[in-house]
Amino acid sequence: MPPITRLFVKTSLLYLVAAFGAGVLLALRPLLPLPAFVAGLSPVYFHLFMVGWVMQIIVGVAYWMFPKWSKLLPRGHDGLALATYALLNVGLLLRVIAEPAQTVSAWPGWGWLIVLAATLQWLAGLAFIANTWPRVKEK
């Protein structure tokens, strides 16, 4: 398994654990006096699963298993794959912090951090598509 795939898959497993952690917090909310930001965790919980775990494990395995592009660049541009990793994770982590924070704080900066999180994750999707599209070829 290539190092970039290991990076994606191990990170995806950490998000899976984090997603279940967020799920536990949400389930405890009616029972315990938890901090107010926990109320804003619902969308974060779902996206930790779908972006942090599912999307990331797909990206990692696709990078590893999809047909080779060329002898020179068998898995496409590694720079794009690493950019996908950085953009996706910085974007998702920003969302994890800023979205619940916005529900309990009036600081306008949280809103702009959410916009930044959205932009980074969108760019990650584009980088993944750009690097994967040429490898989807008939044999």
User: Which residue stretch of 1-9, 10-18, 24-32, 94-102 sits at the interface with another protein (rule: CB under 8 A)?
Assistant: 94-102
User: Which residue stretch of 10-18, 19-27, 74-82, 110-118 sits at the interface with another protein (rule: CB under 8 A)?
Assistant: 110-118
Which amino acid is located at 95 in the chain?
R
What's the chain's Rg over C-alpha atoms?
17
Instruction: Report the Cα 94 to chain-centroid distance in Å.
Output: 10
Contacts of 74 (CB under 8 A, 6+ apart): 68
Q: Determine the 3-state secondary structure of 88 from DSSP.
A: helix
Q: Determine the 3-state secondary structure of 58 from DSSP.
A: helix
The distance of closest approach from Cβ of residue 89 to another protein in the complex, given in angstroms and rounded to an integer, is 15
The distance of closest approach from Cβ of residue 11 to another protein in the complex, given in angstroms and rounded to an integer, is 18
> Where does this chain bind another protein (CB under 8 A)?
50, 54, 58, 66-67, 95, 98-99, 102, 110-115, 117-119, 121-122, 124-126, 128-129, 132-133, 136-139
